[in-house]
Structures are given as C-alpha cells and as structure tokens.
Amino acid sequence: MNSSVGGSVRQHKVGGLAALYLAAAYVVAMPYFLVFVKYQSVVDPAEKVSLLVSNHDSMRVMYLITYVIFGIVLAVLALALHARLRDGAPTLTQAATAVGLIWAVVLVASGMIFNAGMAAVVGFGGLAAATYAGHTATTSVVGAASGSGTTSTAASGGALGSSGVSIFTAITPASGRGAHVTTGGS
C-alpha cells in the first residue's frame, strides 16, 4: 500500500469521524436547548437574561460544543469531502469546500461571540436583569426649560444601554435650553 492511498484512507476515516461528531453534537444540542433550557420559548428580554445567568456554565459548554468545536470539525469534514470528491467534479468540489470552510469560520466566530456576550451579561448580574426587566427607574430632570430642577419617578421602558445608565440631552423648542436627563435602575 503506497503512502498516498494510506493518506487517503486516513482522510476518509477522519472525515467519517468528523461527520459522526457533527451528528452527535446536534443530537445532544437539540434536546438541551429545546427541553432542558427551553431557550427558544423565552421571548421576554428579562427572562432571557435570567435564563443566561442561571444556565451560564452549561450554555457556555454547549455553545463551545455546538459552535466552536463544531466549526473546526466541519472544516475537517469539508476538506475530507474535497479530497474524496475532487476527481469526480473538481469545480463543484472546490465551490462546496469554500462554502464549507466559510461556514466553519462563521460558526466558530458566532460561538465565540455568543460566549463573550453571555459572559458580559452574566457579569452584569442583577444589574442587567433589573435594567432589562423594565423595573421602576428614577428619572432626574435638572435644568429644564423653565430653569427649575424637578425630579420624577417613571417606569423604565426597556433597555437603558449596556451599562444600565442612559444620559442624554433634549432641547426644548420653546426656549432652546436643554434638559439633562439621567436614568438609572433603582
């Protein structure tokens, strides 16, 4: 047996193992996300943040398995399929391999971005949950158009920014003076 045939057989085995891993990753991930975590059924942002905080470690591992490692193994499978099919349809095989490799890179990047974003949300902990839940926030209005400072309490309508605090200036049409508004969770 020459080395090129042995290398080809080895590529076929590695490609087959890669395909088995990809299938197993889906078989494990679907029940995890749909039954155990019920990630798709949660639509409220506050509940989604709470879900991320309570399942952070297991979700980080599942995204690592189903995106990052999956993408790397998908690249291995794409290259193994390329080696196996390049003689039959070289142009189609090159195009399919390019798509497979691009898809693999996007999967790895998506998994890493999700894990980094989830770590940031979990890092905010209660602040993020309270902010995105739309809890009562205190709004201080200083230097309004009349020149007097007033303070009022209002319900926050949603996300107030990534830090949980939003500061903006509004110009009133009557006087052209600004109202400096600072909003923070209470």
Q: What number is the average pLDDT over the span 45-62?
A: 89
The pLDDT assigned to 101 comes to 97
Domain boundaries, the chain: 3-129, 136-185
Question: How much of the chain, in percent, has pLDDT values that exceed 70?
Answer: 63
Report how far residue 160's alpha carbon sits from residue 182's, in angstroms, rounded to the nearest whole number. 10
Q: What is the pLDDT of residues 78-102, one digit of tens each?
A: 999 999 988 888 899 999 999 999 9
Q: Residues with Cβ < 8 Å from 171, sequence gap 6 or more?
A: 177, 178
Q: What is the pLDDT of residues 1-34, one digit of tens each?
A: 444 444 588 889 999 999 999 999 999 999 999 9
Q: What is the pLDDT of residues 140-156, one digit of tens each?
A: 333 333 344 443 333 33
The pLDDT assigned to 133 comes to 52
Strand ranges of the sheet holding 165-171, from the earlier edge strand across to the other edge:
150-155, 136-142, 178-185, 165-171
The per-residue pLDDT of the chain, averaged, comes to 74
Q: Is the pLDDT of residue 157 over 60?
A: no
Listing DSSP states for 78-98 in one string gives: HHHHHHHHTTT-HHHHHHHHH
Are 102 and 74 within 8 A, CB to CB? no
Q: Residues with Cβ < 8 Å from 45, sequence gap 6 or more?
A: 132, 133, 158, 159
The pLDDT assigned to 22 comes to 96
This model's pTM is above 0.75? no
| Residue showing tokens 């809890």 | 135
